[in-house]
Amino acid sequence: MLRIARDLHDAIVAHARRDHPDEACGVVAGPEGSDRPERFVPMLNAARSPTFYEFDSADLLALYKEFDANGEEPVVVYHSHTATEAYPSRTDVSYASEPNAHYVLVSTRHDDIAEFRSFRIVDGEVAEEPVEVVG
């Protein structure tokens, strides 16, 4: 189960809406081994695409250096889908490289609501998990 604070949930959704019609992407960092998402880190979609996202390699390298310095890890890896449901595509699954992370997808295909779902993706296997928004 993903337990996430209301402000982090809302920040992810706001980022997805702001970058629409392109996909948004980012992470929420937390203390290593804690499974507690705490620090919101919106990233630039280097692909600038409505159907694909890609973290900028220099930004990603800098982020992982921050993780090492702060004793953090990516607890949530998120991105948006702009025209389809919030479910991992084959490409999303193939790029999922953090076995301990919650992979959050937000669909911005409807103006009035944003679909927010979380998945575990390990060795190509996708398992949806409940999301509890707290606070």
pLDDT of residue 111: 84
pLDDT of 73: 97
| Predicted local distance difference test score (pLDDT) of residue 120 | 98
Percentage of residues in the chain having pLDDT higher than 70: 100
**% helix, strand, coil for the chain, step of 5:** 25, 40, 35
Full residue range of the structural domain in which residue 124 is found:
2-134
pLDDT in tens, 39-48: 999 999 999 9
Long-range contacts of 48-57 (CB under 8 A, 24+ apart): 48/22, 49/22, 49/23, 50/21, 50/22, 50/23, 50/82, 50/83, 51/23, 51/82, 51/83, 52/23, 52/91, 53/23, 53/24, 53/25, 53/79, 53/80, 54/25, 55/25
- How many domains does the chain divide into? 1
pTM over 0.75: yes
Average pLDDT, the chain: 97
Query: Whole-angstrom Cα distance, residue 69 to residue 120?
Result: 26
Instruction: Please compute the mean of the pLDDT values over residues 98-126 and round it to a whole number.
Output: 95
Which domain CATH number covers 102? 3.40.140.10
